[in-house]
Amino acid sequence: MDKLSPQQRHANMAAIHSKGTKPEMIVRRGLWKRGFRYRLNAPDLPGHPDLVLRKYRTCIFVNGCFWHGHNVALPQIDNGQWIIDNSECCKIPKTNRDFWVRKIRRNQARDIEQQHRLARLGWHCITVWECSLKPSIREQTLTSLAYTLNRIWLEDHAVQVSYPEAEEGVGTMLAAEEGEEYETEKTE
């Protein structure tokens, strides 16, 4: 069944994890096609987000479900046993369990920490999970991502419309100035 040694598995998963891999490319192409422009792997930002859309003040992380522990609860060890609640897209290997749990817990904690740091710097953070990019739901995911970005932009640029009590003095003065200017132009 599981013929890989932990070392082989590690090497395999590390390769899948490397930058420029398929899930990230899907998001890049999907956003590009929809007219969004971005920077890649911003080295100056916490966590080096996969895509940075400055105009939208948004960082996008494209996360592998296994490495980042998508929907997996990994509580503290109990009586020498991990109590693991696996999810559909992230199943902790039965061999070398202790190593994997610690590793993925560490990644989860780091993800949260980095997103908090980005938020404090005024960035929105969006995580796109690998499982949401499988062919059957990919377009839907990308469309909703585009929708979210547009909504962020609109909220950031919303004009506070208010109607204060009319200040007659100011209004009258403005009207008078405009009138004067108009008449000056006419006499020339």
For binding to Zn ion (CB under 5 A), which residues are involved? 65, 70, 89, 129, 131
Q: Which amino acid is at 52?
A: V
Whichever of 42 and 89 has its CB closer to Zn ion, that residue is 89
State how far the alpha carbon of 87 is from the alpha carbons of 12, 25, 73, 151, in Å.
Answer: 21, 24, 8, 30
Distance CA 146, CA 58 (A): 12
Distance CA 140, CA 146 (A): 10
Whichever of 28 and 70 has its CB closer to Zn ion, that residue is 70
Contact between residue 92 and residue 72 where contact means Cβ atoms under 8 Å apart: yes
Minimal distance, residue 119 CB to Zn ion, in Å: 22
CB atoms within 10 A of CB 26: 20
Minimal distance, residue 72 CB to Zn ion, in Å: 9
Minimal distance, residue 151 CB to Zn ion, in Å: 23
Please give the structure tokens belonging to residue 36.
């969004």
Whichever of 22 and 54 has its CB closer to Zn ion, that residue is 22
Whichever of 58 and 132 has its CB closer to Zn ion, that residue is 132
Minimal distance, residue 67 CB to Zn ion, in Å: 11
